[in-house]
Structure 1
Amino acid sequence: MKRFYYLSSCDTCQKILKALNLPNDVELIDIKQTNIDAKALDWLKEKVGSYEGLFSKRAMKFRSQGLHEMTLTEADYRRYMLEEYTFLKRPFVIYDENVWIGNAKKEVEAAQQFFANSK
């Protein structure tokens, strides 16, 4: 699997996409147009270790729906991400067995280094 899940209207995602200089074989998926499917989400969970690690608690709907006051289970995290793209931490970069999640500086730098060294 070679995919970049992002939000096209997100300036941070656009900046990261440009900085990574991804190979042409990476499929770009705008999660607003095509939300992640269950199979890909489950695969990512196996790589990361939890659905919570893929979930964005910074999403506006996290607070507006009162989720911040609830104790969510792994099944809850999975369900919310499949129902609503805004709950996905973004971007997700998948290249074969390598995965980078989110926009934290260390994640972006690790992905940049990987792609710079793979050319």
Structure 2
Amino acid sequence: MPRIIYYLGTCSTCERILKEIPNLKSFSMREIKGDPITAKELDDMKKLAGSYEALFSRIALKYRALGLGKMTLTEKDYRKYILEEYTFLKRPVMIIPGSSPGQASQIFIGNAPKVTAAMVEAAGRK
């Protein structure tokens, strides 16, 4: 699995975070609007993140428009919405594979300051 960052090209927050990432050229860059994530990719992310909910963005405009805040969503629902609408993926998502056999890959999700700091630190390691 390559080092990869999933981001939205029209998102100014993603742009700001990407400017902070060292060794950015060592990552495959995936713009999720033009090249949506696949079910397999999402399932792989879920394995690393622990749940689809951890990958789901509640600040997407469609979250309110569809009234999802008034519903009780299941993991199946989170998966479905992320695959149907790219804005439901919390972003950016950075995946760094384990550096040796048996070492787990790392996933960083979203734009919280602690997550961004962890992304920068992890990206700086070879």
Tell me which of 90, 106, 115 is aligned to 2:114: 106
Provide, for residues 78-118 of structure 1, a one-character-per-residue CA deviation record: whole Å limited to 9, x for no partner: 000001001000000011111100001111101111222x1
Deviation at 1:66, TM superposition (A): 1.0
Alignment TM-score, normalising by the size of structure 2:
0.89
Aligned to 1:14: 15
TM-score w.r.t. the length of structure 1 is 0.94
AA aligned opposite 1:25 = S
Q: Name the % identity.
A: 48
Can you give the 5+ residue segments of structure 1 that lack an aligned partner in the other structure? none
C-alpha separation in 2, matches of 1:23 and 1:87? 24
Q: State the one-letter code of the partner of 1:48.
A: A
CA distance in 2, matches of 1:82, 1:99: 19
Q: Distance in 1 between matches of 2:39 and 2:27?
A: 20
Counterparts of 2:110 and 2:23, CA distance in 1: 16
Provide the aligned C-alpha RMSD in A: 1.1
Counterpart in 1 of 2:101?
A: none
Residue pairs, 1:42-81, within 5 angstroms: 42-81=43-82
Aligned AA (1:52): E
CA contact (8 A) 2:18 2:24 kept: no
What count of residue pairs does the alignment treat as equivalent? 118
- Partner of 1:50: helix, strand, or coil? coil
- Take 1:47 and 1:101, find their aligned partners in 2: how far apart are those partners? 10
Aligned partners of 2:15, 2:40: CA distance in 1, in Å? 25
Separation (CA, whole Å) in 1 of partners of 2:88 and 2:122: 27
Structure 2: runs of 5+ lacking an equivalent: 98-104
Segments of 4+ moved more than 4 angstroms:
none
